[in-house]
Amino acid sequence: MFVLGITGGIGSGKSTVSRYLAEKGLIVLDADEISRQVTQSGGLAIPAIEEAFGKRAVRDDGSLNRRYVSGIVFKDKSKLDLLSSIIHRFVLDKMEDDIQKLREKGTKCVVLDVPIPVSRFVNMCNQIWVVTCDEQVRLSRLEGRGMDREDASRRIAMQMTDEEYQQLGEYSIDNSGSLEETYASVESLIKRELNGRGIRV
C-alpha cells in the first residue's frame, strides 16, 4: 500500500488538497479530526493533558479546554511542543492502526493529512507532498476564519517555515493562487506519482 503524506503550515491549504484527493476517491486520515476525537470527553489524550497542564485544562464535561490551553501554548513554544507531543502520540497510534486495517483490506493508497510532520509521521509515509502559501495570503485566510491577525501571525511564526517543510517532502504544491491552479498542480502529481504506480484516482 502506498502511504501519501500531505502537510503544510496553518492556513497553507493542506486540507484543501486533502479534500480534493478525498473527492477523487482516496481514503484520507485527517490528523486534526483524530486529534478532536482523542481530546473530546473521555478521549485517550485527556489524562496526559490534565497531568501536564493542570485541572483547568479539562472542561467539566471531560473534554479539552481549548481556550485555556491555547492561551498558554501559543505564548510559549516549549508548552506548545509539550501539548503537540502528547496529542501526536495518540493521533499517530490511531493512524497506524487504521493503516494496518486498510492494508489488510487490500487498499492501494491512503492519504495522511498531518499539519506537523514529526519524524514518526515522516517514517510512516512513502512520499510527502508539502502545501505552501504566501504568508499574507495565509493571514487573510485565517482572518477569514475569524482569527485575530496578531494571533494568526504568532501561530505562523511558531511553526516551521515553508522551506523547512519542503525539506521533508518530495514535492511542493503552491497554494497562493487560485483553486484551479492548485488543483492543476495536484492533478499533475496524481498522474505522475499515483497513476504511475497503478493507483487509479
* 179 domain residue, yes or no: yes
With respect to residue 42, please indicate whether it lies within any of the assigned structural domains.
Answer: yes
138 CA to centre of own chain: 15
**pLDDT value of residue 118:** 86
What is the average pLDDT score of the chain? 94
Look at the chain and report how many structural domains it folds into.
Answer: 1
Report the candidate in 121, 194, 129 with the shortest Cα–Cα distance to residue 166: 129
Say which CATH number the domain at 53 has. Answer: 3.40.50.300
Q: Per the domain annotation, does 41 fall within a domain?
A: yes
* DSSP three-state, residue 28: strand
- At residue 7, the pLDDT reads 96
CA distance 45 to 23: 30
Sign of the dihedral through C-alpha 87, 32, 6, 194? positive
Which residue range is the domain that position 126 belongs to? Answer: 2-195
Neighbours of 68 (CB within 10 A): 14
Indicate yes or no: pTM above 0.85. yes
- For 138, the enclosing helix (H) or strand (E) is helix 135-144
The proportion of the chain whose per-residue pLDDT surpasses 70, expressed as a percent, equals 100
Asked whether residue 100 is domain-assigned, the answer is yes
Whether 200 is in a domain gets the answer: no
pLDDT in tens, 17-45: 999 999 999 999 999 999 999 999 999 99
176 contacts: CB under 8 Å, gap ≥ 6? 132, 133, 134, 137
**Model pLDDT for residues 110-151, shown as the tens digit of each residue:** 999 998 888 999 999 999 999 999 999 999 999 999 988 988
